[in-house]
Amino acid sequence: MRRRRWPLLSLLAFGYAFLYVPILLLIVYSFNESRLVTVWSGFSIKWYRELLHNQQLLEAAWLSVRIAAVNATLAVVLGTLAANALVRHGRFRGRNAFELLLTAPLVMPDVIIGLSMLLLFVAMQHGLGWPDGRGFTTIAIAHITFSTAYVAVVVRTRLAQMDASLEEAAMDLGARPLTVYLRITLPLIAPALLSGWLLAFTLSLDDLVIASFVSGPGSTTLPMVVYSSVRMGVSPQINALATLIVAVVTLAVIIAGVTSLRGSRTQRRR
Amino acid sequence: MPIALDRRNLDTWQDPKATPYVRIERVSKRFGEHHAVEDLSLDIFKGEFFSLLGSSGCGKSTLLRMLAGLEYPTAGRIYIDGVDVTDVPPYSRPVNMMFQSYALFPHMTVAQNIEFGLKQERLGRGERAERVDEMLELLRIAELRRRKPEQLSGGQRQRVALARSLAKHPKLLLLDEPLGALDKRLRENTQFELVNLQERLGITFITVTHDQEEAMTMSTRIAVMDAGQIMQVDTPTAIYEYPSCRFVAEFIGSINQFEGKVVESDGDQLLIETRLGRPMRVRNFHPLALGTPVTLAVRPEKMRLCLDYREDGVNQLRGVVEDIAYLGDVSIYRLRVEGQRVEMTLTNTQPRTEQVLTWDQEVAIEWSPTSAVVLTE
């Protein structure tokens, strides 16, 4: 009997549609000539031109990218250290508590993280005189606190899968612990560090709630600008900006895919 | 049984003046409540191919890891070449190890894997390249030098792991189940190769294995371990022919055991009364008092068919064939003798169809007094 394929295929089509039709609409309407987002009146790239002159939006985007990069980098460092402690240091005292406290931010509501960070920063400013006001630094710190948890989970999985005898073999061959870490462990968990970095970057770029709590005057992140301008009525400039971001992300994914594919192919050929 | 390789001029352990190369002195290792190694002492001499043999969990791997410095003893000292290395970290020991999983670095080529240890020694580039070439040649894997570990077969990986652990010219090489991951044919060839390599390089080898054949074929001496302790240390021949206790006798090969007691002492021979009917005669070197409870142990291949059976013949018995297991080169016969089960191995000198022994047949068997051993524990 021939298997009927249309039920499965239509299910697949529905799934893709569910995920990507909204993004597709967004892209299409970024080329809309009309000021009204929901009415098509002809093709135009005028919103892209206007976007280039929208100083506020561009500054916000640049700030967000900087925060995301700093956040991702520091979160990878801290998260990797935490993952190392969990995987490589056996059953130390307080390990269970450490594990619980490390991963708690994963399930903590953003509102609570944001509010508690705000209270902390205000108290610190009073008591220590630092941070002086709120802005780039406070947003980055707040983002690092929860991004670290995500990175730790990703890196930990990879570390646990790694054969511990590789590190022992390196030590047996005369490598001191630091050399072992730099020459053996790090290269082997590098993919996890990269995906941890990208994850942290995205989480930060994406965050509206926490940033709203801990930002100050003059430090408005991209999601905050988008959110407030949408409340005034959606400008197609936002569509244009979103389209650009999607394009950059797609390009990055394609480049990453191609390089890794090429890498594995050359390996097979040898 | 496997052929023990001929090893001439390698009996340093019998020289009372020789100083041991590796000295393990009353070492214990506990993991929480679990005693992995318990008050263990052992001397290993230069140039030996020494095997730690035991079933899994007997502590042999823990002992090897303590020699490598990957575990530290809870008590006791370890000396290598006269130096107390008990607290020396693994990267400062004159010892290298070949891991059971081979532990090849997946992100490096074969040549880079071999070079890794040399880089840590801060050897110059030229010398490193020379040494890598030497190792590739020694193990005949020059054509693999640019490959990554994932592109190698199991046998090739084993050679690369061996090359890497030999590259630093260690004085002592530790091998954790060196042939464990290879299939049977490859394993047999590699056994001979390992022994040749060891003799050529003059390095002391200590290997851990659960495979008695492997230990018998390759070793100068074997330590049979159980529950964190050494049951017997001796040459493969002595371990097989003269086991010191029932555990060793049962662990290596198969053996018939008859419980009984000493009833008569006659020069270097004893008469042992067992449930086999008549008293059995056996040669024994240690004086035993009359009435001592002992176990008489006879290997199946030490028995032979008896052609001149007499009621008063020495070590002669009558039985019935209950089972025959045909293994090609030999057959194992399960006999019932005086209500006891006795195993006998005979070489199949004729095709099976021509053989005289068959099921339910009555047979007479015998063995020489020098072929059996008396076990007291």
Which residues lie across from B342 on neighbouring strands? B335
Asked if B156 and B179 touch (Cβ cutoff 8 Å), the reply is no
d(C-alpha A84, C-alpha A87), whole Å: 5
| DSSP β-ladder status, B49-53 and B221-226 | parallel
CB-CB neighbors (< 8 A) of A176 in chain B: 91
Polymer length of chain A:
270
Of A163, A174, A270, the CB nearest to B151: A270
Q: All domains of chain B, ordered by start, with CATH?
A: 14-244 (3.40.50.300), 254-375 (2.40.50.140)
Is A173 close to B164, i.e. CB distance below 8 A?
yes
Structure confidence at residue B1 (pLDDT): 37
Q: Does B117 touch chain A (CB under 8 A)?
A: yes
Q: What is the pLDDT of residue B291?
A: 87
Inter-chain touch B99–A170, beta carbons under 8 Å: no
> 3-state SS of B98-158?
ECCCCCCCCCCCHHHHHHHHHHHCCCCHHHHHHHHHHHHHHCCCHHHCCCCHHHCCHHHHH
What's the distance, CA A160 to chain centroid? 23
Domain boundaries, chain A: 54-240
Residue positions counted in chain B = 377
The CATH number assigned to the domain with range A54-240 reads: 1.10.3720.10
CA dist A138 and A131 (Å) reads 7
Give per-residue pLDDT as tens, B80-90. 999 999 999 99
Q: Do residue A270 and residue B117 have CB atoms under 8 angstroms apart? A: no
Which chain B residues have a beta carbon less than 8 Å from that of A270? 146-148, 151
C-alpha of B251 from chain center? 10
Q: At what angle do helices A222-231 and A236-269 cross, to 10 degrees?
A: 140
Q: What's the pLDDT score for residue A250? A: 84
Name residues of chain B where pLDDT drops below 70.
1-10, 353-355
Burial pattern B132-161, b for ≥16 Cβ within 10 A else e, equals beebbebbebeebbebbbeebeebbbbbbb
**Nearest-angstrom CA–CA distance, A20 and A26:** 10
- Chain B interface includes A163 (CB < 8 A): yes
Contacts of B253 (CB under 8 A, 6+ apart): B1, B212, B240, B299
CB–CB contact B70 A174 (8 Å): no
| Cβ separation B120–A169 shorter than 8 A | no
Q: Per the CB < 8 Å rule, is A170 touching B105?
A: yes
The strand pairing partners of B226, in sequence order, are B229
Cβ distance A187 to B107 less than 8 Å, yes or no, reads yes
Using a CB-CB cut-off of 8 Å, the residues of chain B touching A171 are 69-70, 89-91
Computed from CA positions of residues A28, A34, A40, A41, in that sequence, does the dihedral angle turn out positive or negative?
Answer: negative
User: pLDDT (tens digit, 9 = 90+) per residue, A43-68?
Assistant: 888 889 988 898 888 899 899 999 99
Sheet of strand B34-44, all strands in order from the earlier edge strand to the far edge: B34-44, B22-31, B75-80, B83-84
What does each C-alpha distance from A91 to A95, A96, A101, A245, B66 come to in angstroms? 6, 9, 16, 44, 21
Contact A163 B147 (CB under 8 A): no
Contact (CB<8Å) B68/A172: yes
Q: What is the pLDDT of residue A263?
A: 53
Beta bridge partners of B84: B79
Q: Which helix (H) or strand (E) holds B164?
A: helix B154-166
Residues of B in contact with A187 (CB under 8 A): 107
> From CA A257, how far away is CA B6, in angstroms rounded?
58
* β partners of residue A156: none
Report how many Cβ contacts below 8 Å link chain A to chain B. Answer: 66
Quote the CA–CA distance of A102 and A106 in Å, as a whole number: 9
Distance CA B77, CA A240 (A): 73
Residues of chain B positioned with their CB less than 8 A from the CB of A179: 120
Task: State whether residue A171 sits within 8 Å of chain B by CB.
Answer: yes
Taking the alpha carbons at both ends of chain A, their separation in whole angstroms is 44
Give the per-residue pLDDT at A39.
82
Of A166, A175, A188, the CB nearest to B91: A175
Burial letters for A65-80: b for 16+ Cβ neighbours within 10 Å, e otherwise?
A: eebbbbbbebbbebbb
How many CB atoms sit inside 10 A of residue A173's CB? 28
Q: Is the peptide bond before A131 cis (omega within 30 degrees of 0)?
A: yes
CB B66 within 8 A of CB B42: no
pTM given for the model: 0.82
Give the nearest chain A residue to B161 (CA atoms): A169
Alpha-carbon span A131 to A113, nearest angstrom: 18
In chain A, which residue ranges form alpha helices assigned H by DSSP?
Answer: 6-30, 46-53, 55-88, 95-103, 110-127, 136-161, 164-172, 177-180, 186-206, 209-214, 222-231, 236-269
Q: Tell me the torsion sign for CA atoms A137, A141, A143, A147.
A: positive
Asked if the Cβ–Cβ distance from A166 to B105 is below 8 Å, we say: yes
Tell me what ipTM this predicted complex has: 0.84
Written as six digits, the tokens of B202 are: 């003059």
The answer, for B107 touching chain A at a CB cutoff of 8 Å, is yes
Angle at which helices A6-30 and A236-269 cross, to 10°: 130
Chain A residues closer than 8 Å to B106 by CB: 166, 188
Q: With CB atoms and an 8 Å threshold, state whether A169 touches B97.
A: yes
How far is Cα B116 from Cα B104, in angstroms, rounded to an integer?
11
Rounded to a whole number of angstroms, the distance from the CA of B145 to the nearest CA of chain A is 11
Q: How far apart are CA B222 and CA A155, in angstroms?
A: 44
In chain A, which residues have their Cβ closer than 8 Å to the Cβ of B165? 172-173
**Inter-chain residue contact A163 with B103, CB threshold 8 Å:** yes
**Beta carbons of B101 and A165 less than 8 Å apart:** yes
Question: Which residues of chain B make contact with A168, given a CB cutoff of 8 A?
Answer: 68, 70, 90, 99, 103
**173-192 in chain A: CB under 8 A from chain B:** 173-176, 179, 183-184, 187-188
Give how far the C-alpha of residue A17 lies from the chain's centroid of Cα atoms, to the nearest Å.
24
Here the tokens at position A89 are 């240091």
How close does chain A come to B7, measured CA to CA in Å? 30
Closest-CA residue of A relative to B66 is: A172
Q: B150 and A168 in contact by Cβ < 8 A?
A: no
Contact A219, A136 (CB under 8 A): yes
B116 close to A175: Cβ distance less than 8 angstroms: yes
Chain B residues within 8 A of A183 when measuring between CB atoms = 116
Q: Which of B120, B146, B147 sits opposite A175 (nearest CB)?
A: B120
The residue of chain B nearest to residue A184, with distances taken between CA atoms, is B105
Contact A179 B99 (CB under 8 A): no
**Quick one: tokens of B216?**
């018998």
Least Cα separation, residue B71 to chain A (angstroms): 11
Residue numbers of chain A with a pLDDT score lower than 70: 1-2, 259-270
